[in-house]
Amino acid sequence: MRGYTWIVFKKELMDTFRDRKTIITSILIPILIFPILTFVMGIAMQGLFDDVESHVPIAIIGEESGVAEFLQETGIVEIKPEENPMAALKDLDVFVVVEIPVGFNETLKLKNMADLVLHYDESSQKSTMALGTVQGLITQFQQEIVRQRLIDLGMDPGFVTAVKTESRSLAEGESGNPIGAMLYMMLLPLMLTMWSAVGGIPAATDLGAGEKERQTLEPLLATRASRSQILFGKYFAVVVASVMGMFASLLGFLLATILNPSVLASGGIIPLKAVLVIAVACLGLNFTFSAVELAISFYARNFKEAQTYLSPITILVMIPAYFTLYLDGKLIPESYFHIPIINTIAIIKEALARIYDPRHLLIVGIWLCVYVGAALLFTRRMFNRESVIFRN
């Protein structure tokens, strides 16, 4: 940037960040949204797990048996006397109903296999999760019965344990719960892509349609600066605002992982190489969408119309972002690297999985250059049209 482009850039950047709305929208909200979101998620998840892991109300149908005593002694299950257990399950007064058939105790004494029926409400998340908890406890009860039977036969209980398994992660030295790490791998690409694309919308709206509405664009066009210099000065100001919005959202995401690691556990520090690959991919989106948003803003008659035109961009980005939400970074189809936005998300997911395929990087790099070039040509064409600039 030289000459008048630099002057316009500095002027627009100062005007952009002098506006309180831009600071709130592009910086403060991205920083705060993820810590707040994970805090709420943590409370909700903790409440749900507390209900189904430490205190599970159940009802018993049938005769008293050793399984009922075992469940009660675990301290996890509360057996509630219900006149109509199935109605209580429907009302979620209990989460699971254990049906013990007639002759259950006698069947076990004869060392035969006894049946149990567990009733749950599949439309209830708590009931479904409680089912897993009760099933795990009954498995412990079954193992105790088998152990006692082997002892009665004079056999070592360890005889039936043919294989002992131990789980180890491929990434040495990494820790954190698997669910948290999975959420991290899902949400980080989503967040980076979203804010790379929409982070510059407030600045673009103000520097294009906002100037037309305030009638300050005509005096700027009357200066010695050429239209190209004015355009690129404004464009780079939008890019800076977009990049700052992206980094603000990343900062908010990292704060969320620190403040609530039980919800978002990264499982380790992201390598510098992965950070560089992700940064370049996101910058490609920053440059592309900044140009498109500025062109749309110039086309709009006023600030309100520009907001209306630019709002669909958020939806446009959300579709591929959510489409790839469950995409495994190690199993990405080749065709995904040729699809706009999806290819950027694919590169981010590969980088998070410590994969740096030169071919994929080259393909996405070429496409990003094409996107940026096409977006700039479109913006320059729009800015050079009198019918667009002076559209009222």
Average pLDDT over residues 113-120: 87
Mean pLDDT for all residues in the chain:
80
Tell whether the model's pLDDT for residue 263 goes beyond 50: yes
What pLDDT, on the 0 to 100 scale, is given for residue 175? 47
Instruction: With residue 117 as reference, give the H or E element that holds it.
Output: strand 117-120
pLDDT confidence bin for 363, thresholds 50/70/90: very high
Tell whether the model's pLDDT for residue 152 goes beyond 90: no
Q: Which comes out higher in pLDDT, residue 157 or 101?
A: 101
Pull the structure tokens for residue 272: 């510098």
Whole-angstrom distance, CA of residue 260 vs CA of residue 172: 23
* C-alpha distance across the termini of the chain, in Å: 31
Tell whether the model's pLDDT for residue 45 goes beyond 70: no
Tell whether the model's pLDDT for residue 172 goes beyond 50: no
What pLDDT, on the 0 to 100 scale, is given for residue 182? 67
Q: What is the CA radius of gyration of the chain?
A: 30
Cβ neighbours of 283 (radius 10 Å): 17
Whole-angstrom distance, CA of residue 361 vs CA of residue 220: 41
What pLDDT, on the 0 to 100 scale, is given for residue 337? 92
Average pLDDT over residues 235-241: 90
pLDDT confidence bin for 330, thresholds 50/70/90: confident
Pull the structure tokens for residue 337: 């690297």
pLDDT digits (tens, 9 = 90+) for 54-67: 678 888 888 667 78
Whole-angstrom distance, CA of residue 366 vs CA of residue 379: 20
Cβ neighbours of 24 (radius 10 Å): 12
| Domain ranges (residues) in the chain | 4-43+177-389, 55-160
Tokens 């627009």 identify what position? 12
What pLDDT, on the 0 to 100 scale, is given for residue 362? 93
Name the pairing type of β-strands 77-79 and 117-120. unpaired
- CATH superfamily of the domain spanning 55-160: abc type-2 transporter like domain (3.40.1710.10)
Average pLDDT over residues 114-140: 85
What pLDDT, on the 0 to 100 scale, is given for residue 166? 66
- What Å distances lie between residue 111 and 156, 323, 342, CA to CA? 17, 52, 58
